Every structure is written in C-alpha cells, then in structure tokens.
Structure 1
Amino acid sequence: LEIKDVDDTAPTNILINTTNIADNISASMQVAYFSAVDSDTVGTHRYSFDNLNGVNNADNGKFTLSTDGKLSVKAAVNFATQSQYHIVIQVADTGATFSRGFTLNVVQTLTITSPATATVVENTNKVITLTANRDNVAFAITNGADKAKFTLSGTTLTFAATDFEARVDDNTYEVEITASKTGEISSTQTLIVTLTDLNDETPTAITFSGNLSIAESTVIDAELGTFATTDADTSDTFTYTSSNTAFTFDNNKLKLNTTLNYETTTSLATTITVTDGNSHTFNKDFTFTITDTNNIAPSNIQLTTTTIADNTTAGTTIATISATDTDTTGETITYTLGGTDATSFTISGNQ
C-alpha cells in the first residue's frame, strides 16, 4: 500500500531569505521572500501580517505581503529616516498557523532578493525571475559547478530540462549569479535547483533470495523466498505475478500454491513479472527443481532364488533379498522375517 501525505501538521517556523533592505530602494520593490518549515509534503502556505503578543510589529503597515510570501515596501526607503523595521508574519495552512517576528535592517549594499533555491520536476525547464533591491540591475552568470545547465536573458534565468537519473545520488544543480549596478558594490548569490523524480523508468532486473530447490514434501502456502527489483526511480512500488499458478505472491514473498510429487514432476518453470507504480513491467524466467523425499512405501520384495538344496548346512546364505521402491533419495531398507517357518531362517542385511 502507498501511504499518501495529507496537510495535517502545523508549520513550525518561518524563514526569510534576507533581513537586509537596501537604502534608497524604490516604492513597491520586493525586499524579501518568506518560506515555511513544515513536515507535510503537501498543502499550500498563505502569508499575512499578524499581531504577536509581546513582539514588535510597529512597521507592518509599511509593507505589502503577497499570500505566497513576497514582501515589498510601500514607500521608498531612506536609511537616514529609518534604519530598522519591525514586522510580524503569520503563515497558515489547513487549519493551523504559525507567527514570527522579524527585524529588517536598512543597509547601503546591493542585494539579490529573488529566492536562492528552486525545485523542478525532472525533464522540465525551470524559469526563474531574478530580482534585486535596486532598479536597473544587470545580472550575470559568473560561476557555479553546473553553470552550463543555465542560461540568462535579462532577468530571466532558465535551468535546462534534466533527467533525474543523469546523476547518481545528487539531484541538485548550482549556479552563481552576480547583480551589478553602477556606483554599487556587486552582490553574489548561489542559486540551487533541486530536481524531483518522476516514475518514468522501467525496472531493469529482478533478483530472487531463496532456494531454487523445493522438496516435494513442502506444504501449500509455504514461503519459498523473496524478490527484489532494480529500478532507477526512487521510492517506487512493485507488484509481482507468476505465469505458473503453482506459485502465488504475498507482496514480494513467493509462496507455493500446489502439492508437489517428484515422481510425476521434477521441475517447475515460471515467468516472474514485476510491475512498478506507473505500470512499467519487466519479466524474468525462473526454474525451480523439485527434490525427492522418502514418502512412498516399498511395493514389492524379491528373492534371487526360492530353492534350497537338500542337506544345506546351517548358516549358508541361500538368497539375496531386494525391494521395489520408487523413492530415490535417502532410502534405507530393513528386512525382517515372518510366517510359520520364520524361525528356520535368519537375515543379515539383505542376505
């Protein structure tokens, strides 16, 4: 069964991408971006100003805040007039809220205000709009381990569509962005794009952990072993089926579904099919060997002769005994005497 997340946990923190506001920034310019810490992987966060007991929120009215967390100044900022702003932000999801106060400092440096992180589904382009705390800023790609994956046109940064499986154990891509303006000190930001996986790969292998030999005395519903699948997709789910009805599955556990008889069947062949969560399939053939057990009674006894010469002396071997038994494994046959003349004979082994 696949457990799906629901939005049932309150946010536990609010993060801000910068607490600095550039001096002389124009009215209506975005100065910060909020994000929430929330253990839920689904749901929507909505941001608003709040009154939090004991926390200074005197400057809430000097900003505008979009519901998706973008903070902008209402009027131009002047360090000489006000060097700090105090606000309280609330984040809300389904039925729960969290509030936190922030102090924003007016500084006389150029700052990139667009988020430093982004996520994108694999094999999809990601377009990011770059912003700064100044007007008429020039942006450039200046470094970063993965800068070749990015292109920049004006303020539009594009991350090229990339396969999640292109790298092993690394689904993040890094680029360094520099913002410049005449008369200002340049600002640099390292932007990290995180790829999320799609279930778009087909399983490539099936492995069996167990014994490929089955004793004919094995009972129905006995567990024979387990199967595992190799698939490049992460967190995938798998369903197994057998082409031979002599086998059934309990999740990935193979179980016997028939009574075995070595004397009629010495092997069972089956094709195992694994199906992942997006209906991709992979097949592999397996052959199980049936082994014999001592489960059939002897069906006949023979003597090499039934004639005894007259005057044969006591202790003379007069015949060799043999038995017919269809079992071929682990047989130990013991002979005993019976009948009215049993006391006239002795047996040693099969003599």
Structure 2
Amino acid sequence: MTHALFEPITLRGLEVRNRIWVSPMCQYSVERQDGVPTPWHLVHLGSFARGGAGAVLAEATAVVPEGRITPHDLGIWNDEQRDAFRPIVDFIHSQGAAAGIQLAHAGRKASTHRTWAEQHGSVPADEGGWTTVAPSAIAFDGYAEPAALDTDGIHEVVRAFAAAARRAVDAGFDLLEVHAAHGYLLHQFLSPLSNTRTDAYGGSLENRARALVEVVDAVRAEVGADVPIVVRFSATDWVDGGWTLEDTEQVTRWVAEHGADMVDVSTGGNVPQATIPVGPGYQVPFAAAIRAATGVPTAAVGMIDEPHQAEQVLVTGQADVVMIGRALLRDPNFALRAAAALRVELPYAPRQYHRAPIV
C-alpha cells in the first residue's frame, strides 16, 4: 500500500524521499555568539534524518551578523560557519534525507533575548546587542527602534543573501529557503504595517515585494538552475490593513516567475496584537488557497501533529509537502511512526534499532 506522505517529490535536480519535511525551528544554541553551529545542531538535525524525515531544514540562519534574532543564532556569513555545517549536512545525507537551510534576516526583530531568558525585548549594546535595521524606522512593539535602510543598505542585504546561498551550497545543502515570514526583514518590506517607504521599495505591492524578488533573483543567479529555492511566507498579518492572502498569492506568482520552486506557508508574526485562531492545521487553508490560485507547489505547516492528519492534507490537494515542527520535537521518529500508522514499509528505518520496531 502506498500513501501520499511517502511518495517522493522532485524539485529541479533534487528528489526527496517523502513529503514529511522538518520545519526550520530556532534553537538559540550558539553559545560563543559567533554563528557557528555546534554539536547540539548536529544531534538536533541529525535525529530527524535518522527518524525518517524526507528533508531536514536548518533553522533561520542569518546572512549577516545584524540579521540574527538573538546573539545565539546560527549564521552563514563567513567560511568558518560554512565549514562547521558540512559534517551536519554529511550526517543528514548519510541517513538518506535531503538537507535544507533557511536563509534569514530578522530586521527590526533582531538583537533580542532568547525565548526562555528572564529578560525580554531588545538586548542592550553593552550586553552584546546592536542597532537593528528595517524598511522604515518603526519599532516592533516592545523592541528598540530600528534604523531605516537606505537603497545601498537594501542592495547589501540582497548581496548577503546571495553570498549566504553560495556558502550553503558549498556546505552541501540541497535546497534553500528564503525567509520572508514571521515579521522578519523581508516580511517587514511586504507588509504596509511595517513599510511606509515612498521610494521604489514602498507603496504599491510591486514595490513592497521588490526586495524579496531581488533576493530570489540574486540567490537563483548565484546557485544556478539545479538547486531548489523555497520561499516562506506569512500568508496574512491577521490584522486589518496588513498583509493579506491575496497579496501572498500575487507575490507567490512573482517569486515563481523569478525562480522559486515552492512556497512554505505560515502566518502572522509582524504585529504582536494580532488575534490568531490557533488550532490543529489552522494554517493549512492558506497553503491550499495559494496552491489553487497560483499552481505553485506549497508546503503546509502549523499544528500538523498526527500521521492521518498529515496524509489528509496531501491527498485532498491542499499542499505538496507537510512541514512538521513541534510533533518532531516531541518525537524525532515522527516519520517512522507515520509509516507504521499508515502501514507503509520503509527501506530506510535504521537497522541499528531493529530490536525496537515502531508499530
């Protein structure tokens, strides 16, 4: 018996063994504050590959130092970071999974404390923080006011994404995700709530999408025709006057025309006062709507916690891939457990664990 979850999927030159992909999940675990991955990242990401996931995506990884959400974030703006990723990628590949990385710039939501820290909000400069940047000098509530990027600064960000993409491919990553969601820099450009510019990067939807389209162009030019590019969107700000599903549909068409192969559909994150109706699969309808409106492959994410639920998302045509987050933190063997629940025999269950079959 076959099931949609365990059908391979091909994007450009990459075939991924199944449709259960690991959503990028920030770990805030770089203790030297130098952006270099650690043994924690090897074990964290490697466990998902060993557990049968199709693709394992590393968390939001900053393309420049000031693009980190916290001082403890991963980076890929230098060669030391690139080289430290290689053994992690090699292990993921050794388990038969594809390796992806989310390239990111946090913009006005950078330079903050870790989520579990006693302090909240922006990290002061004398404690290792820095001045953040954004499309406009509008602070995220409770955070320090950012500096508005000038045109040269925007071009530097675009070049940084391209350079990071090159390092990622040189480290062995198979696919790249451009982070334009959750209120981070590229989402800040997209939303009229955070972008009040009056130049070529503000105002109309086309102008507000310009920075993202330029990033996709630059990344595609840097990595060539074979490497898949995914763009993560927040499909709505969940606030009147903000970024909308219809906006996302249109910009999805544009990024696809410029070389993106799939969109990873989340929601929210740009304004803290949004009321979000959280529940099982609550973001899946957005992925379904974008897929139906544009024909672009989508990944669905958001409290997809059970194998039959994940299978239903795919067989009903709501998405092409499911991104699993919290369920994999609870059980890195989610893919193997899903196979058992759906009665699929997998050839890649770890032989070392044969005395403890998942049934």
- Coarse TM-score class (shorter-chain normalised): under 0.3
- Larger strand share, 1 or 2: 1
TM-score (normalised: structure 1): 0.21
TM-score (normalised: structure 2): 0.21
- State the structure with more CA Rg: 1
Higher relative contact order structure (alpha carbons within 8 Å, sequence separation ≥ 6)? 2
- Larger helix share, 1 or 2: 2
